[in-house]
Structure 1
């Protein structure tokens, strides 16, 4: 493998940490990275695409900005050209990300503010969805999740993912922390509220999975070719 090929893999690995905020899946496995080109000098060109021309500009901005940050964080990268294509707000998004202007600066006079709370809202949903994924095997085994701590759950990829999302919100992640917590406050869910909480978690997971399937289908209809890194990471 050549040095350039190795560096390209490193860029794709970095982009694999960038998630669609609504779907909570990497933009690489979703096929949102259309091309990734790396020169021997460390110049990186990344092009992103989305399922439709009218995907929400706030979601799109978050992904482009996060992708830019992920690429430029690599110490050997000399220049980074990260841009969104085939989107109605691509010009504003690309210019704003390149200028580090933030969402409000990129959409001056149109945006009410930055997107921090929107991002937290989707992380809360990811925590709920992850809670359902982790709790379903417990319920199937006759174990009541409301009585469990993190330490009571067998280690797994799903548990690791849930704990990472909880950490992003500052929610407890230690072995003695309750498995079921309020995503806003981090307080333990009471036995009286457990059924409602688990029901909300299940609905959140199924909603995210349904939206993910729709987006994958729309992207495949729009673009026949696989995205850069999709074969390796998907």
Structure 2
């Protein structure tokens, strides 16, 4: 986009699509967290919403702040307003964003020193989950490969595609090697595991991935329950874990006790 050109709503939504929920590791646009977006005369106004009013204030601030930064980076945008609706700390967060007060300036003594430590924790979790997804996909594609052998799998052994691309992005965010001969199953410093530790490392990675996927499914459902029609704003997960734009409750039958 050239400087001074008119910013469109599609530009705004693409920028917001780069903002991830730190815990769920999905774009806020896919999750349906963008309640509304408007743009005109160099001003972008965005309202965000979350599944509950008591979602972590740190997570809420991080997403709102990242959204504001993403929109500020658009050429042609001179003013950005990002507001969080329906959260118990909405007034505090919105005032801090408007004043560019930063995390500590917004929450004062209740804040941690910075959000970078929290951001780093969830980047590591996202990398762990992405590693497990890639290895699980490889295990399904190659039945002769055993779980105990995945400690020797290298990036160049993975099939090209969305799952491998996602893993490479997660590794890049942590500063890990992207060379084809780099091991896939590594710790957060890029070190591989001893043969007798591979299975436990893989199981921990699987537990992390299941936790992230389960939380994402749960939060999507909560949002649809809280905001009628919000399912239409959610993008079904590419792994097929989401039922689309609605959810179904399991029928419950209550039997009267016999006397």
- Counterpart CA distance in 1 for 2:55 and 2:167 is 27
1:186 to 1:168, Cα distance in 2 relative to 1, 3 A: same
Q: How does 1:113-152 map to 2 (within 5 A)?
A: 113-140=113-140, 141=142, 142-143=144-145, 144-152=149-157
- In 2, Cα distance between equivalents of 1:216 and 1:90: 20
* Alpha-carbon displacement from aligned partner over 1:61-109 (angstroms, at most 9, x marks no partner): 1000000001110011121111101111111111222222221110112
Q: Aligned residue pairs: how many?
A: 229
Give the drift of 1:145. 2.0
TM-score, with length taken from structure 1: 0.92
Show the counterpart of 1:199.
Answer: 203
Secondary structure of the residue aligned to 2:109 is coil
Deviation at 1:227, TM superposition (A): 7.4
1:74 aligns with 2:78: no
1:38 aligned counterpart, secondary structure: strand
Please say if residues 130 and 205 of structure 1, whose CA atoms lie closer than 8 Å, have aligned partners that are also in contact: yes
Query: Aligned to 2:29, what secondary structure does the other structure show?
Result: coil
CA distance in 1, matches of 2:90, 2:199: 43
For residues 49 and 211 of structure 1, what CA distance do their matches in structure 2 show?
17
Asked if 2 retains the 8 angstrom alpha-carbon contact of 1:34 and 1:228, the reply is no
Range with bigger deviation, 6-15 or 137-146: 137-146
Determine the structure 2 residue equivalent to 1:32. 33
1:170-212 C-alpha deviation (Å, 9 max, x unpaired): 11222121111102x2112222211011101110111111111
Tell me, in whole angstroms, the C-alpha distance in 2 between the residues paired with 1:214 and 1:110: 28
Gaps of 5+ in 2: 238-243, 245-259
Once residues 169 and 232 of structure 1 are traced to their aligned partners in structure 2, the CA distance between those partners, rounded to angstroms, is: 27
- The answer to whether the 8 A contact 1:135-1:145 is kept is yes
The answer to whether 1:13 aligns with 2:17 is no
Q: Which residue of 1 aligns with 2:169?
A: 164
Q: Which position in structure 1 is the counterpart of 2:57?
A: 57
Aligned to 2:250: none
Tell which has more relative contact order, 1 or 2 (C-alpha 8 A, sep 6+).
Answer: 1
Alignment CA distance shift 1:221-1:227 (3 Å): closer
SS in 2 for 1:71: helix
- Alignment of 1:220 with 2:224, yes or no, is yes
Structure 1 Cα separation of the partners of residues 232 and 49 of structure 2: 11
- Residue equivalent to 2:249: none
Bigger-Rg structure (1/2): 2
- 1:104-119 equivalence runs, <5 A: 104-119=104-119
